[in-house]
Structure 1
Amino acid sequence: MVENFIYYLGLVLVIIGSIMLANRLRVAYPIILVIAGLLISFIPGLPPITIDPELIFIIFLPPLLYEAAFAVSWKEIWKMRRIITSFAFIVVFLTAISVAFVANSYIPGFSLALGFVLGGIVSPPDAVSAGAILKFVKVPKNVSTVLEGESLFNDASSLIIFRFAMLAVATGQFVWQDATLSFGWMIFGGLGIGVVLAYIFLKIEKIFPTDVNMDAILSLVAPYVMYIAAEEVHASGVLAVVSGGLFLSIRRHEIFRTSESRLKGSNVWESFVFLINGIVFLLIGLDLPEIMVGLHKEGISLSDAIGYGLIITAVLIVVRFLASFGALFTTLIMRNFINVADRNPEMKLPVLMGWTGMRGVVSLAAALSIPVMMENGQPFPHRDLILFITFVVILVTLILQGLTLPTLIRKLNLSESKENHMSEEESEHFLRKGMRNVAYDYLNENYKERRNENEYFNRLMDRWEQEDKEDATHILSDEAKEIYFETLEQQRIWLREENRRNMNIDEEYIRHYLTRLDLEEERLRM
């Protein structure tokens, strides 16, 4: 037991070391982690890591989805809603269908139902991998928004396909009428349950006194409650977490009510998600020996299995490229009839979108969740082959597309669309001027008569009036500090309102200034 604990502790250190190496090499850390797990798996004598398939989704998916929903901007998603919806649902379904028919045609003994199981597993691209790569290169905001929004909803659509395909494999039949009703309940039930539970968590935060630690713990518990509650009534746990996360994301100032709570909550989540992502990508490499043993039992040669994996990978890449160009041409046609997010998209955009199809966390979790034995006592057909194909798809897309994506982005030299946002310089000037005016107007309207009473308060007034960069707040009196905190809160209110009404400002800049205000308040309080 002690030896295993030391081994697991060592794996955590491997995760940290791998990510440090990835940052040093300026390579996406999922790539390094998968390779590290693969190398560790060949070390003899190490204990195997096995996780109950039923726990895979519950352990990893809720926090990853919740954090992604909390981090994304609903305003930006709404702008790009048509293209995001098409990639998250239509493209996923087309991908799953393509994989199903190709697998049924080229893999011996692979039924169409098994093909859809595999299609549901490998159809959703992984946002973690893309995000880790894109932090080293700058891409247009509309591209990053589509990738973020797509990742939130394509997990749900792919897992719905996966669930129905698993049912068809287990029962040997597929009733369209029942499937349609179940499909509707999974979507709308999941969305509704997520919003209702998120509202309950919001009310708990408002009604009951909580401190910083309670706020962080409740935020960690929330996604698990949403996911499990939805799954218990056969709705989509993924959609419940996504809808609940988006609902609370818009109201983050109501659940994290103090600057200390917001800053510490952000740090807790960043560390938690960092560890979970590291574990999952390391598991991808560590699972290879066990998968190889299963392949041997099935009597499938390694070369054949690799060939099947490469065929499925090629199908995924081709379908995504076709879908990306199809989306571009649809936009060019529909801009004549409706308002679209970008009326003049670049012809190079589909190339970038087509090459951002790395697979990762969700595909692995779905593959590992396949039970070894079905309810009728029979082994699940071709389970290990499905696992191996998933492994090949993840490995090839991560390494092939992940390593070449930064070079491709630089070669394409895409320009930022001027239709969607102010430039970074324009946004910064607008926000700084607005915050200064809000602060000065608030102080002038509420405390103008105090100006001659307190030299330090007078300096505070001048600081906003003249935008003085001098670090003068450390000499404020306690009374002036409280007034200063009130002023910071007025600026927060203005920033949130500006975010809602001004569609031309990227929410990322708004959040940046909100964080700066929190840091300013905490610095002064300490």
Structure 2
Amino acid sequence: MDQLALIVGLLLATVVAVGLGDRLRLPYPVLMLLLAAALTFIPGFPDLEIEPGLILPIFLPPLLFATAQRSSWAVFRVRWRTLIMLAVALVVISTAVVAGAAWLMVPGIGVPAAIALGAMVAPPDPVAVDSVAGRVHMPRRLISVLQSEGLFNDAAAIVIFQAAVAAAVGGTKVGPDVVLQFLLGAALAVLVGVAMGWLIALVTRLVTSMVARSAVTLVVPFAAYILAEEVHASGVIAVVVTALEMQRHARPQDAAERVTRNAFWDVVELLVTGLAFGLVGLEIRRVIRDEGSGIFGMIGVSALVCVLVFAVRFLWMGVLALGARKRKNLLQPTSLKEVLILTWCGMRGLATLALALALPLTLADGTPFPGRDYLLVIACAVLLATLVLPGLTLPWLMRVLKASEDGTAERDAVRLLAARAQAAAVAALKQHDLMTDLPPEKVTLVKERMQRLRAELTDGSLRNEPLAEKRRRGRELAIAVQTIALDAARQEVVAARNEPDMDPEVADRVLRQLDLRTMVMPE
């Protein structure tokens, strides 16, 4: 009962942290971490016992799925170079640098254990980045870079970590077969994700209950992750591919389902994120408590590893910025200002904690895992340094660098897409002969409705005409006009979402307004 009460308490604390974060203009995951860590100082405060091997399967699938739903295949076709350089190359380089430092400075640690530490602290957390970047009005292009990195870097880190731990336990070396293992696991994961996407498309066609179709999206991330792990593939990549495939199969006519599902996933993402970072706070405090005074002897090495993590990321982002200037690649940092921002946003989170807790206690011969306590302390130090410090100071950094956007670019993109939706709606009405067969006063009415539709999509408001006005203008005509126009507009936006130069979040914003407008239509 204590465990259940603690989980419920963390969920309630998440709601409080969200409200407090809105007032203080701070990211609620960071506040949740600090709050949970502070609670453990209360005498008799219970520990939350979760099997380390279950942390990733419980928390990672829904959080990755929620983030991946905001992207599209077309975007990844454009960002493939950024994806490789950040989600794979940077993880490998960070792992190598941290492993080398740990091998030199941590007494009694072997190369495999050092590599395991490097893999633990290498991948930034996309959930933490999303929660922080949106509050400081970071340019959409930089958010896109961070999202691309965060969706796949866990996969590379997990493969390296598993190979290193297996080598440490078995007394072998980490060989080049890790690369082959990663490639095969990624390929199998893509197949699993495509299959799950096809299955959900089939369920959408066969199941008539809108609630059931929305509920199945909660099951799918876990199913994709578990199935991929069972066939020794990457569960992370399988979940991301599943989300992308579901978006690719999205039907324009499912307006009510999209509104319901989006609201449902907003709640799920908020609570799971709060619970996950609450768990991080509890575990950090537990590590500090278990190590006692011995932790002071580990501070020097932990601080140096934290510095190395920031330094490697800064240098690598600088290299990408130099390459972007030559190639004019807008999906990479292009200035020192952007390099600083992207470096400061390399926040570690759930994956770092889960991998740290997944370290085995003993080797195959029964001896203790080399330097396990030391590795846990270093991992927690990196987590705190990269999450709490940037999370609390990023708004200040954005003000100093004058890097925040006022939203003009995004509003312009919404206006352009709204204009396309309006043009598609008018074209559909002409195709149905509604414009040519109507009397002049009705044609004027239709044009007014189309102008109003464009305004609604642009500013996000839903203006409903008075009931008497609707009756006067003709109920049947209004329904026919709006049905045809909104269907055509949604079709245009759904198609635009899969274009390489279209920001998926801009398309989702316009599509949401169309869906809401459809739901308030008279019946």
Q: TM-score, normalised by structure 1?
A: 0.89
Amino acid at match of 2:14: I
Equivalent residue number for residue 489 of structure 1: 487
Deviations 1:350-392 (A, max 9, x none): 1222221111121112222233455654443333332222221
**Residues 507 and 371 from structure 1, CA distance in 2 versus in 1: closer, same or farther, beyond 3 angstroms?**
same
Question: Compared with structure 1, are the counterparts of its residues 216 and 370 closer, same or farther at alpha carbon in structure 2 (3 Å cutoff)?
Answer: farther
Give 1:314's aligned amino acid.
V
Question: In the alignment, is residue 311 of structure 1 matched against residue 300 of structure 2?
Answer: no
| 1:201-237 deviation digits (Å, cap 9, x = unpaired) | 222322x123221112211111111111111111111
- Tell me the residue number matched to 1:111: 110
Change in Cα spacing, 1:381 to 1:519, as seen in structure 2 (3 Å) is same
Distance in structure 2 (CA, Å) of the matches to 1:155 and 1:459 = 54
Q: CA deviation at 1:17?
A: 1.1
Alpha-carbon distance in 1 for matches of 2:232, 2:98: 26
Instruction: Name the residue aligned to 2:236.
Output: 238
CA distance in 1, matches of 2:8, 2:500: 48
Choose from 506, 512, 515 the match for 2:512.
Answer: 515
CA distances 1:294-344 after superposition (whole Å, capped 9, x unpaired): 435xxx8121223232121111001001101111122334x2xxx733699
Report the counterpart of residue 14 of structure 1 in structure 2: 13
Corresponding residue for residue 162 of structure 1: 161
List gaps (5 residues or longer) in structure 2: 456-462
Does 1:440 pair with 2:426? yes
Which residue of structure 2 aligns with residue 265 of structure 1? 261
Summarize the Cα distance change of 1:177–1:116 in structure 2 as closer, same or farther, 3 Å threshold: closer
- State whether residues 30 and 398 of structure 1, in contact with CA within 8 Å, keep that contact through their aligned partners in structure 2: no
Deviation at 1:422, TM superposition (A): 9.5
Give me the TM-score of the superposition, normalised by structure 2.
0.89
Alpha-carbon spacing, 1:442–1:327, altered in 2? closer, same or farther (3 Å)? same
Counterpart position of 1:284: 280
| 1:371-390 to 2 correspondences below 5 Å | 371-373=360-362, 377-390=366-379
CA positional deviation for 1:496: 2.5
Counterpart of 2:311, as a letter, is V
Deviation at 1:461, TM superposition (A): 5.0
**Aligned-residue offset at 1:182:** 2.3
Do the aligned partners of 1:294 and 1:384 also contact (CA within 8 Å) in 2? no
Identity of counterpart residues, as a percentage? Answer: 29
Q: Which residue of 2 aligns with 1:324?
A: 317
Q: Which amino acid aligns with 1:310?
A: A
State how many pairs are aligned.
509
Distance in 1 between the 2:438 and 2:429 partners?
9
Q: What is the one-letter code of the residue matched to 1:402?
A: G
Counterpart secondary structure, 2:373: helix
1:76/1:145 contact within 8 Å kept: no
Which of 358, 382, 393 is residue 393 of structure 1 equivalent to? 382
Who is 2:460 aligned against? none
Contact 1:96 1:120 survives alignment (8 Å): yes
CA distance in 1: counterparts of 2:428 and 2:45, whole angstroms: 65
Alignment RMSD: 2.8
Alignment of 1:203-242 (within 5 A): 203-206=202-205, 208-242=206-240
| 1:295 counterpart residue number | 291
Inter-partner Cα distance in structure 1 for 2:415 and 2:268:
35
Instruction: After TM superposition, give the deviation of residue 286 of structure 1 in Å.
Output: 1.1
Measured after TM superposition, the shift of residue 242 of structure 1 is 1.4
The answer for unaligned runs of 5 or more in structure 1 is none
2:445 matched residue in structure 1: 459
How much has 1:63 moved relative to structure 2? 1.0
Structure 1 pair 344–322 and aligned structure 2 pair: CA distance change class (3 A): closer
